[in-house]
Amino acid sequence: MSTLQLKSLTKSFGDVHVIKGVDLDVAHGQFVVFVGPSGCGKSTLLRMIAGLETASTGEIKIDNAVVNDISAAQRGCAMVFQSYALYPHMTVYDNMAFGLENAGMAKDAVRKKVTEAAALLRLDSLLERKPTQLSGGQRQRVAIGRAIVREPKLFLFDEPLSNLDAELRVSMRAELRDLHARLGSTMIYVTHDQVEAMTLADKIVVLRAGKIEQIGTPKELYERPINTFVAGFIGSPRMNFIPRSALQAMPVLVSQLPNSATSVGIRPEHLRVLAASEAAELGVGLLLTIAQAEYMGATSLLQGTLADGTKIEVMQQHAVPVTRGDVVTLVMDASKLHSFNANEQRI
Ligand SMILES: Nc1ncnc2c1ncn2[C@@H]1O[C@H](COP(=O)(O)OP(=O)(O)O)[C@@H](O)[C@H]1O
Ligand SMILES: [Mg+2]
C-alpha cells in the first residue's frame, strides 16, 4: 500500500511564497494529476513530495509516516521528468540497470527486473541501443522504465510528455493509463495541460498561485467547477462567461438566475445555433455576430461577439452554414448553465 498525505504544506524561497498551505489525501493506487498554469507551484510541490525540496512548514506523510526529514533516496519515490535525463553513453539496458546495480542488487535479479520492465514498455528489442538512437517517445519510455525497476512507493511525473509531438502525446497518454492499470501503483502527475489531466486522472487537483482551487474527478470539475478560474481552466474549448447584463434578450432565463449571479458560464458545446426560421418563431435568444467559423468534420467551431462585445465560442456537432459578419441566434441549455457571483464563486 502507498498513500500520500499533505498537511498545511508551505514553501517559501526567501520571501517568495510559492506553496501557500496545501492539504491533500491520496489513496493507494490513485492516479492524481496536479494541473495549473505555468509558475503556480506544481513542480515545487512534486519536488517536495520527492524530497528534492524541503517543506517550510507543514507535513508530508507517505504510508502514514512523516517523511519531512527523510532524504530523497530513502523516500521511495521515483521521478520522471520532461527532459528524459538518460545517460547518453549507456545503452537502454544500462540506463535502466544502473540504479539497481549501484544499490548492490545481484546481476541476475537486475536482469530479471530490467527485462520485465522492458517487456511492459515494449522496449525489448531496443535494449542495446544508446539514447541517441531512440525516438522521443522511446526515450521517455526508458525514463519510465528506470522508474519502474525501482518499484517505488510513489511514481512522480513532472510534465513527462511535454517534449513530445501532439500525436505521440496522445498515444503515450494511453500507454500511461494502461501502465497504471497494470501496475496498480500510486501515481502523481504534473501537467499544465488540462486535456492531459482530464484523460489521465482519477482525481484532479487544480492549483493556482500555490493554492488548491478544487479537487475532484474530471467529471466533477467539468460539471461543477467551484469558481470561474476552474471553470475556465477545465474544458476545451474554454467555457464562455457572459455578464448578466448581456442576457436581457432571454428574460425567462434571467428571471430564473439567483439574485447574486453577476455572470453565467456556458460551455461552447452547450450553446445551440438556431436556424433562421426557428429563431423567428421562438423570438428569444442571444444575437451573435460571427467573426470566424471553422468546420472540422465532426464538429464546427464558431467564434463571435454579442452586442455588448462579449466574446463567445460555440461548438456544434454539424456544419453551420455561416461566414464572417453573419448574425445568428443562440440559445442555451439552461440545465448546463453555471452561475457565478461578484467574487467569481459558483452559486
Ligand atoms: N529555487 C527557487 N528559488 C526561487 N523561486 C523559485 C525556485 N523554484 C521555483 N521558484 C518559483 O516558484 C514558482 C513556482 O515554480 P514551479 O513550481 O516551477 O511552477 P510550475 O511547475 O507550476 O510551473 C515560480 O514563480 C518560480 O519562479
Ligand atoms: Mg513545472
How do residues 181-204 score in pLDDT, each as one tens digit? 999 999 999 999 999 999 999 999
Q: Kindly identify the ligand whose nearest atom is closest to the C-alpha of 54.
A: 1
- Those residues with Cβ within 8 angstroms of residue 190's Cβ, 6 or more apart along the chain or in another chain: 33, 34, 35, 42, 43, 45, 46, 156, 157, 158, 159
- Those residues with Cβ within 8 angstroms of residue 321's Cβ, 6 or more apart along the chain or in another chain: none
Q: Among residues 316, 287, 314, 318, which one has the least CA distance to residue 303?
A: 314
Q: Among residues 294, 280, 285, which one has the least CA distance to residue 324?
A: 294
**pTM reported for the whole predicted model:** 0.93
Minimum CA distance residue for ligand 1 atom 16: 41
Q: Tell me, what's the pLDDT at 155?
A: 96
Q: Tell me, what's the pLDDT at 83?
A: 83
Q: Is 162 in the pocket of ligand 1 (CB under 6 A)?
A: no
- Ligand 1 atom closest to the Cα of residue 37 is 22
Q: Is 257 in the pocket of ligand 1 (CB under 6 A)?
A: no
Q: Is 38 in the pocket of ligand 1 (CB under 6 A)?
A: yes
Q: Is 44 in the pocket of ligand 1 (CB under 6 A)?
A: yes
Banded pLDDT at 168 (limits 50, 70, 90): confident
pLDDT tops 80 at residue 84: no
Find the 33 Cα to ligand 2 centroid distance in Å: 13
- Per-residue pLDDT tens for 99-140? 999 989 999 999 999 999 999 888 999 999 999 999 988 999
- Report the C-alpha gap between 315 and 299 in whole angstroms: 7
Q: Among residues 327, 347, 326, 329, which one has the least CA distance to residue 337?
A: 347
Q: Is 140 in the pocket of ligand 1 (CB under 6 A)?
A: no
Q: Tell me, what's the pLDDT at 112?
A: 95
Q: Which residue has the higher pLDDT, 177 or 279?
A: 177
CA distance readout (Å), 206 to 4, 42, 90:
17, 10, 38
3-state secondary structure of 211: strand
Instruction: Domains for the chain: give ranges and CATH numbers.
Output: 4-233 (3.40.50.300), 241-340 (2.40.50.140)
pLDDT tops 80 at residue 1: no
Banded pLDDT at 277 (limits 50, 70, 90): confident
Q: Tell me, what's the pLDDT at 58?
A: 98
Minimum CA distance residue for ligand 1 atom 6: 13
Cell of 3: 498513500
- Report the C-alpha gap between 241 and 267 in whole angstroms: 9
pLDDT tops 90 at residue 42: yes
Q: Which residue has the higher pLDDT, 35 or 85?
A: 35
Banded pLDDT at 283 (limits 50, 70, 90): confident
Q: Among residues 133, 137, 96, 99, which one has the least CA distance to residue 117?
A: 96
- What mean pLDDT is predicted for residues 49-77? 96
List of long-range contacts for 340-344, beta carbons under 8 Å, 24+ apart:
340/227, 340/228, 340/231, 340/241, 340/261, 340/262, 340/263, 340/264, 340/265, 341/260, 341/261, 341/262, 342/260, 342/262, 344/227, 344/228, 344/229
